[in-house]
C-alpha cells in the first residue's frame, strides 16, 4: 500500500491543555521550528479566538522561514444566531493569517442539545456556513468532527450528516475525533472504515488516551483508510493526553512500513521528544515507548546476558533507529554481568571471579537499602568502583562547613557558606554566597579547591534534582540529590542521599569533584 501519511501536530494547542504544561511565546516558536525541521506537515499553533498569547504566536510565526510545514489556526464553528462574517471567533481565525484553518464542529447530539443548546439543524448550518465562508477566503480547511465516534454510536445518521455538511461546504479533510478517548480499537476501525467508504474526502484521526488506547486507535484508523494523523509530542494533552506522535510515528514507519517520516529524520525523534519536554519543563517519562530513557534499559541479569549475545533477543527494534540507545542498569538487584558490563563502559576490567566484583555488588546492595540509586549516577558508580578496587584517593579532606540562611521580615533570604578543607598538610578556609544554601556551599567549595586544583575552574553544574524518598515522614524524609556536572568534554552525574538536603547535596558535590580529578589525564575517554 505504502500510502503517504500526513502528520498534524497539535502540541502547541491541545498539548497546552495538559495539567502542568504552559508554553511561553518563545517556547512555541522554537517548538514550531523543530517540528518543521523534522518534517511534520501541519503545525496547529493555537486558538486565536480564545487566547491573546496564541494570537501573538501567529503574528510572530509569519517571520519564521519554515521549510515545509503549514501553520494551522484552530477554532470553532460560528455561534448560533450570529452571521459568520460577524462572528468574533471566525474573524480571529482569519486574523491569524495562516494558510490553513482547522474548524471543529459538533457531531454528537448530546453536545448539540446539552452544551451548545441549539436545534440539531442549526448546528449543521453553523458547520456548513463556517467551512464554506473560510473556504471562500482561500484557506485550506481541515474539519475536526469533535466526538465523532461517540456521536456515531449514539446517532449514526446525525453524526454522518454533520460530516456531510462540512464535506459539501468544501472541507479538504474530515478529521474523526475520539475526543473523550474512551473508544476501543475495533470500534474505531469499523466506524472509520464505513466513513471512508461513504466519503471521497480524505480522512484524519484525532484520539485521546483515556482508555490507554490512543496509539492503537490511531493505528486502527490508519488501517481503515485515514491519511492524516493528529497528535502531540510526548502525548501532552487534556486529562491523560493526546495521541503521542513519538509512539505513533515509529510504529507507522518501522512496524507498518508507512513513510510518515524518512528514516534519517526518525533518528531525530528522541532529540525532539527531549527538547519539547525541556520547553514544557516536564520531567521526561523514562518509560515512554521508543524515546524513553528506560525504553532500552536492561536490568535483569538474564536479559543483560542475552542482549550481550544478540540484541534482538530483548529489543524489538534497534534503538538507534529512533535516536535512542541501549543502557545497562546497576542496582542492588544487579547480577555480576551488569556490574562487569558497566565497568567496561568505564574502561575497567572486572570478571565474575575477581573479589572486587563481589565487593561492588555488596556495596551496591548496602547503599541501595539506604536509598542510593546509581541508575542515574554513572560517575558516582565509577567512584564506587574505584573504592571497591582499593584505588580511591582522597583529593581533599573536609575539616568542616557551615551554611547559614537568614531572613528578615519580607526581605529575600541571604545564603552564606564557609568551608575549611585540607589537602596534604595544608588547610584552607573559604566562604561563598549563593541563591540558596546548596548554591552557596557549591560556590565556597569551588573557591577553596581552585587553590589546589585549577582544573576545577572548568566544571559547571548543569543540573540539580531533588527527590524525596519517604513521603510519609514529612520534612524529616530522606532526599536523594542528583547533580549533573559538565566540563569542556564531558557530562557526568552523581548522587547523594540523606535526611538533610545539604548533606545529600554535599555527597553529590564531592563525587562530582572526585570524578573530575579522577579523569585527569584520561581526556577524551567518554564516560
Per CB under 8 A, contacts with a copy of itself among 166-225 are 179-182, 184-186, 209-213, 215-216, 219-220, 223
Establish if 321 lies at the interface with a copy of itself (CB under 8 A). Answer: no
Q: What would the DSSP string read from start to end of 282-308?
A: ----TT-TTTSTTTTEE-SHHHHHHHH
Establish if 306 lies at the interface with a copy of itself (CB under 8 A). Answer: yes
Nearer to a copy of itself, 388 or 502 (CB): 502
Establish if 501 lies at the interface with a copy of itself (CB under 8 A). Answer: yes
Establish if 425 lies at the interface with a copy of itself (CB under 8 A). Answer: no
Nearer to a copy of itself, 263 or 525 (CB): 263
**∠ CA(388), CA(390), CA(395), 5° rounding?**
105
Nearer to a copy of itself, 201 or 505 (CB): 505
Nearer to a copy of itself, 162 or 251 (CB): 251
Distance, in Å, from the CA atom of 216 to the CA atom of 115, rounded to the nearest integer, reads 29
Nearer to a copy of itself, 49 or 204 (CB): 49
Using CB under 8 A as the binding rule, the residues of this chain from 356 to 375 that contact a copy of itself are 368, 373, 375
Distance, in Å, from the CA atom of 28 to the CA atom of 11, rounded to the nearest integer, reads 9
# binding residues, a copy of itself (CB under 8 A):
129
Measured from the CB of residue 246, what is the shortest distance to a copy of itself in angstroms? 9
Binding string, 426-465, against a copy of itself, x = CB under 8 A? Answer: --------xxxxxx--x-----------------xxxxxx
Measured from the CB of residue 300, what is the shortest distance to a copy of itself in angstroms? 5
Measured from the CB of residue 328, what is the shortest distance to a copy of itself in angstroms? 11
Q: Which of 467, 487, 491, 517 binds a copy of itself (CB under 8 A)?
A: 467
Angle of helix 269-280 versus helix 25-38 axis, rounded to 10: 170
Nearer to a copy of itself, 121 or 397 (CB): 397
Helix or strand run (H / E) with residue 481: strand 479-486
Binding string, 218-257, against a copy of itself, x = CB under 8 A? Answer: -xx--x-----------x--xxxx--x--xx-xx---xx-
**∠ CA(371), CA(353), CA(360), 5° rounding?**
15
Contacts with 473 (C-beta within 8 Å, 6 or more apart), sequence order: none
Q: Alpha carbon of 527 to those of 327, 484, 515: distances in Å? A: 13, 13, 10
Distance, in Å, from the CA atom of 465 to the CA atom of 245, rounded to the nearest integer, reads 28
**Strand pairing class (203-207; 228-231):** parallel
Establish if 471 lies at the interface with a copy of itself (CB under 8 A). Answer: yes
Instruction: Give, as one character, the DSSP assignment of residue 259.
Output: -
Establish if 494 lies at the interface with a copy of itself (CB under 8 A). Answer: no
Nearer to a copy of itself, 86 or 460 (CB): 460
Measured from the CB of residue 65, what is the shortest distance to a copy of itself in angstroms? 26
Q: Which of 281, 427, 458, 523 binds a copy of itself (CB under 8 A)?
A: 281
Distance, in Å, from the CA atom of 442 to the CA atom of 485, rounded to the nearest integer, reads 12
Q: Which of 470, 522, 523, 525 binds a copy of itself (CB under 8 A)?
A: 470
Give the dihedral sign, CA 8/13/19/20. positive
Distance, in Å, from the CA atom of 100 to the CA atom of 44, rounded to the nearest integer, reads 9
Residue where the block lists cell 564531558: 490
Q: Which of 157, 454, 475, 521 binds a copy of itself (CB under 8 A)?
A: 475
Q: Of 33-41, 57-65, 424-432, 492-500, which part binds a copy of itself (CB under 8 A)?
A: 492-500
Distance, in Å, from the CA atom of 93 to the CA atom of 62, rounded to the nearest integer, reads 15
Measured from the CB of residue 98, what is the shortest distance to a copy of itself in angstroms? 21
Contact 158, 190 (CB under 8 A): no
Establish if 300 lies at the interface with a copy of itself (CB under 8 A). Answer: yes
Distance, in Å, from the CA atom of 468 to the CA atom of 475, rounded to the nearest integer, reads 9
Using CB under 8 A as the binding rule, the residues of this chain from 47 to 86 that contact a copy of itself are 50-51
Return the half-sphere exposure (C-beta side, CA atoms, 13 A cut-off) of residue 46: 27
Nearer to a copy of itself, 353 or 410 (CB): 410
Instruction: Give, as one character, the DSSP assignment of residue 112.
Output: I
Using CB under 8 A as the binding rule, the residues of this chain from 120 to 149 that contact a copy of itself are none
Q: Which three three-digit cell numbers place residue 214?
A: 490512543
Determine the length of the chain.
Answer: 527
Amino acid at each position: 500500500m505504502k500510502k503517504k501519511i500526513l502528520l498534524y501536530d497539535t502540541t502547541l494547542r491541545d498539548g497546552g491543555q495538559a495539567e502542568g504544561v504552559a508554553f511561553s511565546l518563545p517556547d512555541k516558536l522554537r517548538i514550531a521550528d523543530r517540528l518543521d525541521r523534522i518534517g511534520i506537515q501541519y503545525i496547529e499553533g493555537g486558538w486565536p479566538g480564545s487566547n491573546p498569547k496564541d494570537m501573538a504566536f501567529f503574528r510572530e510565526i509569519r517571520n519564521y522561514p519554515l521549510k515545509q510545514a503549514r501553520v494551522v489556526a484552530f477554532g470553532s464553528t460560528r455561534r448560533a444566531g450570529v452571521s459568520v462574517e460577524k462572528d468574533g471567533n471566525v474573524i480571529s481565525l482569519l486574523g491569524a493569517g495562516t494558510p490553513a484553518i482547522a474548524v471543529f464542529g459538533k457531531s454528537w447530539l448530546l453536545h448539540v442539545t446539552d452544551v451548545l443548546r441549539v436545534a440539531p439543524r442549526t448546528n449543521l448550518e453553523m458547520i456548513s456556513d463556517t467551512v464554506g465562508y473560510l473556504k471562500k477566503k482561500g484557506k485550506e480547511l481541515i474539519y475536526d468532527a469533535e466526538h465523532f465516534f461517540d456521536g456515531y454510536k449514539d446517532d449514526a445518521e446525525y453524526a454522518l450528516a454533520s460530516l456531510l455538511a462540512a464535506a459539501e461546504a468544501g472541507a479538504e479533510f474530515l478529521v474523526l475525533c475520539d475526543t473523550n478517548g474512551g473508544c476501543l480499537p475495533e470500534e474505531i476501525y469499523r466506524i472509520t472504515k464505513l466513513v471512508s467508504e461513504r466519503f471521497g474526502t480524505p480522512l484524519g484521526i484525532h484520539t485521546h488516551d483515556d482508555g490507554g488506547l490512543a496509539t492503537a486507535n490511531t493505528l486502527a484508523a490508519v488501517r481503515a483508510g485515514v491519511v492524516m494523523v493528529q497528535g502531540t509530542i510526548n502525548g501532552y494533552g487534556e486529562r491523560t493526553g493526546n495521541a503521542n506522535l513519538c509512539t505513533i510515528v515509529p510504529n507507522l514507519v518501522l512496524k507498518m512500513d508507512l513513510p510518515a517520516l524518512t528514516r534519517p529524520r526518525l533518528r531525530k525523534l528522541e532529540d525532539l521528544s527531549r527538547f519539547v519536554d525541556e520547553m514544557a519543563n516536564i520531567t521526561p517519562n523514562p518509560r515512554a515507548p521508543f524515546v524513553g530513557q528506560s525504553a532500552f534499559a536492561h536490568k535483569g541479569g538474564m536479559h543483560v546476558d542475552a542482549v550481550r549475545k544478540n540484541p534482538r533477543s530483548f529489543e524489538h527494534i534497534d534503538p538507534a533507529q529512533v535516536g535512542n540507545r541501549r543502557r545497562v542498569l546497576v542496582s542492588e538487584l544487579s547480577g555480576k554481568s551488569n556490574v562487569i558490563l558497566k565497568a567496561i563502559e568505564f574502561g575497567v576490567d572486572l570478571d565474575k571471579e575477581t573479589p572486587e566484583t563481589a565487593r561492588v555488588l555488596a556495596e551496591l546492595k548496602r547503599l541501595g537499602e539506604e536509598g542510593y540509586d546509581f541508575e542515574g549516577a554513572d560517575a558516582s558508580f565509577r567512584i564506587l568502583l574505584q573504592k571497591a578496587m582499593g584505588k580511591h584517593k582522597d583529593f581533599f579532606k573536609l575539616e568542616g562547613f557551615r551554611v547559614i540562611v537568614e531572613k528578615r521580615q519580607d526581605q529575600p533570604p541571604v545564603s552564606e557558606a564557609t568551608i575549611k578543607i585540607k589537602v596534604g598538610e595544608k588547610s584552607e578556609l573559604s566562604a561563598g554566597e549563593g541563591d540558596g544554601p546548596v548554591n552557596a556551599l557549591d560556590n565556597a567549595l569551588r573557591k577553596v579547591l581552585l587553590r589546589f586544583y585549577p582544573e576545577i575552574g572548568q566544571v559547571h553544574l548543569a543540573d540539580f534534582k531533588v527527590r524525596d524518598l519517604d513521603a510519609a515522614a514529612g520534612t524529616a524524609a530522606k532526599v536523594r540529590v542528583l547533580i549533573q556536572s559538565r566540563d569542556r568534554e564531558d557530562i557526568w552525574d552523581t548522587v547523594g542521599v540523606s535526611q538533610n538536603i545539604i548533606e545529600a547535596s554535599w555527597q553529590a558535590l564531592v563525587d562530582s569533584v572526585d570524578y573530575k580529578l579522577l579523569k585527569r589525564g584520561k581526556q577524551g575517554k567518554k564516560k
